Amino acid sequence: MAERAEVVFVDGVRTPFGRAGEKGMFWQTRSDDLIVKAIVGLLERNPRVPKDRIDEVAIAATTQTGDQGLTLGRTAALLAGLPQSVPGYAIDRMCAGAMTAVTTTAGAIAFGAYDLAIAGGVEHMGHHPMGFGADPNPRFQAEKLVSAEALNMGNTAERIHDRFPRLTKERADRYAYNSQRKNAEAYANGKIQPDLIPVATRSSNGWGLATVDEAPRPETTIEGLATLRTPFRAHGRVTAGNSSGLNDGATAGLLASAEAAGELGLTTKMQLVSFAFAGVAPEIMGIGPVPSTEKALRKAGLSITDIGLFELNEAFAVQVLSLLDHFGIDDDDPRVNPWGGAIAVGHPLASSGIRLMIQLAAQFAEHPEVRYGLTAMCVGLGQGGSIIWENPHFIGKTSKGSK
């Protein structure tokens, strides 16, 4: 049997992320138009890619109905102007949708079935609130398979606080404050903007152009966070300030075999090392990235000390803190989300996995002393997903184990 092909992350882009709802900048924008814009922007940035050589378009959405339905990968491919010969499909693993689109197409590349693939995700939470229209099987609760609280992500975050008393609200608020601060600094230094694809918007005031994320609150203070109400539980610890918001946005990434990338003269921003998904009790879904990261490290023959950069999805501050505590990493470790995270920029569910990859790839280019990086996230209904990447810019590639 032939050895597996090496999989590389060529490039990734995203739309700015908007706030969900009637006052959000994408309220009058279709969900499928957001993902089409991301795909078109990705291909415009990579003109060497022959469109007829793309083997697959895998697009994730958590709520696959309305303008997020109809086999989104195929419809988006056609709307983006790809040849009719390019196939596509839709995928759903809730928050890890885009991450799963990446790992699924990467598996096909490694197997030798694909040379090039586009993976992406989109979520318009204004048009499609999480869980809207879903009809959970009554057996979940009748047979106590899943607690009713497991269907509410905020309640699952409160339960992590319950289970780990050392993960206090004060720590969560401080982590959230730092996310906002780091994101503001990254914007001020021009770190975020290069990978954003502008999107035309329409509102009662006429046409506009979305060029930056709508959600960040750089004015956030520790004192202000302490006063926010706890909507999921009286006297709780989870607030709108230490959680990601409800958002609209799309991401798209280009994956290739190393051989195809070399043949076509494409960039290599990252190399895929290993990935893993894992399940946990749905009631505490936020701890999911702990076992998935342990599994991915084991598959790669690495330890957590080999990871030099972390991009962790900040669904809730306490969720990130649970992973950091487990692995003995400080709350303010500079390797973790150096440009801020979802608490600041937002979390349009199925799209977020590739946002993590976009930021890690850019950080790899700035840190040739770092060899390995991790993208990881929790997933609704009790799952976690983790991908380990290698930095192609790493200096001293023969010294295995170097961060």
What residues are labeled active site? 95, 347, 378
Considering just the CA atoms, what is the radius of gyration of the chain in Å?
20
Tell me how far CA of residue 81 lies from CA of 68, 104, 230, in angstroms.
18, 23, 46
Among 351, 317, 383, 312, which residue's Cα sits nearest to residue 150? Answer: 383
| Tokens at 103, concatenated | 């790992």
Closest Cα to residue 180, out of 113, 120, 240? 240
Burial annotation 315-335 (CB, 10 A radius, 16+ → b, else e): bbbbbbbbbbbbbebebeeeb
Full DSSP string of 327-346: TT--TT-TTB-TT--HHHH-
Residue 206 backbone phi and psi in degrees, to 5? 105, -160
CB atoms within 10 A of CB 227: 9
User: Which tokens go with 315?
Assistant: 């669904």
Helix, strand, coil % (nearest 5) of the chain?
35, 20, 40
Calpha distance 105→114 (Å, rounded): 8
Strands (E), 212-316: 247-257, 270-279, 307-312
User: Contact 106/272 with Cβ under 8 angstroms?
Assistant: yes
DSSP states of 52-101:
GG--EEEEE-SS-SGGG-S-HHHHHHHHTT--TT--EEEE-BTBTHHHHH
Strand 199-203 versus strand 372-379 pairing type: unpaired
The rounded distance, in Å, linking the Cα atoms of 238 and 225 is 10
Euclidean distance between CA atoms 252 and 47, whole angstroms = 15
Q: Of 345, 154, 331, whose CA–CA distance to 238 is shortest? A: 154
